[in-house]
């Protein structure tokens, strides 16, 4: 009996009679020759049928196959330079063909399509090679971020998705109903992470995050995935070291293990190869000076960077760059002010190069209960909702901090995609959440 193989492992089966179970992505022929390209989930392979070899009956059955028809092919694995596919270089010399289903006409053809058309058919679009490559890299990025943290003493501590209040009062929340009480989908697990470090020292949470912003840009999703580490006894400098180690590990791992996918995406690797610690550190003050010198003379100290500013700054470096010590006014209430200079806070964003901008936002947190209470009052936040948060500063408070890494933005950069919508299987965009 012939064994079923994964196309990814085809090189290990040269000369063997094997079976491949999958779907037809492409069919082309030349008289008595028929080329079938088949996807099995692990890769893409070309199968060749020669009419005199397989017989007229099997040959005409194969000729009737439509795009996305499901089938089981048996045949001998042959090495051939001309064979396209992933990994490629090997093809299946078909001896038998079992048709599982003849597919109805598939709407997504190998030709060009518009974004609207494709997003309406995201459930089918996922089958295309490009999406396959991106989402495999996504799986690796998520796994390796977690592997790195798990291997460096961090404990995964899950934080709730249904929450009673905002972490930061500013952004828009998705509201839902918790048995008669208003509840909100989480925008961050940070506040809970801050509680968890007192039990576990170094923690992280990883999960979906919801932002009901009326944002329509290439960098925004209504639902995205965020990795949020938080560390006890950590200062801003410690956080930046963790961030550059983590990001470098993930990028270098992808370069080694997903060369085929990056090539398929036509993502050049030279710039990614430079992503190694240390990353340059740029103070907000210096960043403002760079902007003034670089064509943004009107930029006012105290403003947050807009998209063109971020793009300009990242273009000045060939690696991700930290911008630290932002004005306190522009940042969230819980960030620790710089001692002796309270107008800036101990915060740092990590900006990805090539115009991708912010992929990480982080800070050292206020650890003093009096200062934190004053900040909550100054921001007109409901004191009672933060009572448990203030507790954390009453029972063994320590300097601590953490950051949030946006998975989709990181992926868009690594894959060099023009928009984050392709980095998540089912993107939730403004006014679009089908399918």
Partner RNA sequence: UCCUCGGUAGCUCAAUUGGCAGAGCGACCGGCUGUUAACCGGUUGGUUGUAGGUUCGAGUCCUACCCGAGGAGCCA
Name which of residues 293 to 332 contact RNA (CB under 7 A). Answer: 304, 306-308, 310, 330
Pairing label, strands 281-283, 321-324: parallel
Confirm or reject binding of residue 72 to RNA (CB under 7 A): no
Does residue 253 interact with RNA by CB under 7 A? no
Task: Show the site string, 399-428: x = touches RNA by CB under 7 A, - = not.
Answer: -----xxx-xx---------xxx-------
| Distance separating alpha carbons of residues 375 and 365, to the nearest angstrom | 12
Burial (CB count <10 Å: 0-12, 13-18, 19+), residue 330: middle
Q: Please, which of residues 161-190 interact with RNA by CB under 7 A?
A: 168, 170-171, 188
Cβ proximity of 120 and 36 under 8 Å:
no
| CB nearer RNA, residue 369 or residue 428 | 428
Is 33 a residue that touches RNA (CB under 7 A)?
yes
Smaller CB separation from RNA, 97 or 360: 360
Q: Residues 367, 406, 398, CA angle at the centre, nearest 5°?
A: 15
**Separation between Cα atoms, residue 335 and residue 332, nearest integer Å:** 6
Q: Which stretch binds RNA (CB under 7 A): 156-164, 257-265, 357-365, 392-400?
A: 357-365
224 binds RNA (CB under 7 A): yes
Q: Is 101 in the site for RNA (CB under 7 A)?
A: no
> Contacting RNA (CB under 7 A), which of 24, 360, 366, 375?
360
Query: CA angle at residue 39 from 38 to 44, to 5 degrees?
Result: 85
Q: Which is nearer to RNA, 41 or 306 (CB)?
A: 306
Question: Is residue 28 at the binding interface for RNA, with CB under 7 A as the rule?
Answer: yes
- With contacts defined by CB under 7 A, how many residues of the chain interact with RNA? 71
| Residues of span 114-153 touching RNA by CB under 7 A | 114-117, 119
Read off the tokens for 99.
């048709």
Contact flag: residue 66 with RNA (CB under 7 A) = yes
Report helix, strand and coil shares of the chain as percent, to nearest 5.
35, 30, 35
Using the rule CB under 7 A, is 264 a contact of RNA? no
Half-sphere exposure of 433 (CA within 13 A, CB side): 8
């Amino acid at each position: 009996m012939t064994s079923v193989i994964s196309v990814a492992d085809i090189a290990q089966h040269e000369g063997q009679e094997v079976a491949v179970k999958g779907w037809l992505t492409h069919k082309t022929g030349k008289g008595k020759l028929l080329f079938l390209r088949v996807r099995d989930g692990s890769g893409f392979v070309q199968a060749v049928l020669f009419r005199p070899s397989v017989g007229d009956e099997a040959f005409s059955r194969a000729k009737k196959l439509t795009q996305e028809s499901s089938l089981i092919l048996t045949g001998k694995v042959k090495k051939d330079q001309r064979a396209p596919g992933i990994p490629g270089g090997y093809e299946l010399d078909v001896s038998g063909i079992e048709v599982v289903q003849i597919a109805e006409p598939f709407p997504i053809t190998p030709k060009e399509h518009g974004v609207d058309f494709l997003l309406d058919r995201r459930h089918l679009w996922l089958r295309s090679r490009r999406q396959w490559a991106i989402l495999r890299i996504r799986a690796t990025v998520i796994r390796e971020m977690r592997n790195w943290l798990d291997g460096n003493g961090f404990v995964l501590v899950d934080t709730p998705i249904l929450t009673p209040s905002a972490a930061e009062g500013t952004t828009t929340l998705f509201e839902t109903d918790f048995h008669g009480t208003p509840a909100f989908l989480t925008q961050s697990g940070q506040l809970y992470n801050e509680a968890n470090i007192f039990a576990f020292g170094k923690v992280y949470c990883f999960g979906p995050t919801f932002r009901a912003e009326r944002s329509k840009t290439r960098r925004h999703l209504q639902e995205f995935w965020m990795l949020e580490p938080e560390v006890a006894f950590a200062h801003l400098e410690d956080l930046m070291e963790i961030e550059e180690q983590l990001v470098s590990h993930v990028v270098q791992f992808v370069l080694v293990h997903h060369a085929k996918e990056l090539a398929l995406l036509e993502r050049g690797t030279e710039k990614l190869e430079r992503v190694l610690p240390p990353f340059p550190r740029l103070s907000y003050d210096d960043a403002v000076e760079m902007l003034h010198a670089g064509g943004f003379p009107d930029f006012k100290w105290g403003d947050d960077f807009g998209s063109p500013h971020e793009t300009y700054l990242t273009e000045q470096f060939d690696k991700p760059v930290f911008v630290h010590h932002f004005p306190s006014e522009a940042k969230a209430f819980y960030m620790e002010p710089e001692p002796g200079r309270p107008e800036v806070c101990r915060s740092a964003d990590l900006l990805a190069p090539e115009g991708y901008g912010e992929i990480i936002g982080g800070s050292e947190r206020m650890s003093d209960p009096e200062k934190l209470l004053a900040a909550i009052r100054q921001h007109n936040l409901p004191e009672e909702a933060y009572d448990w948060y203030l507790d954390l500063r009453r029972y063994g408070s320590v300097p601590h901090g953490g950051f949030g890494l946006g998975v989709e933005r990181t992926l868009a950069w690594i894959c060099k995609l023009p928009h984050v919508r392709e980095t998540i299987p089912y993107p939730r965009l403004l006014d679009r959440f089908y399918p």
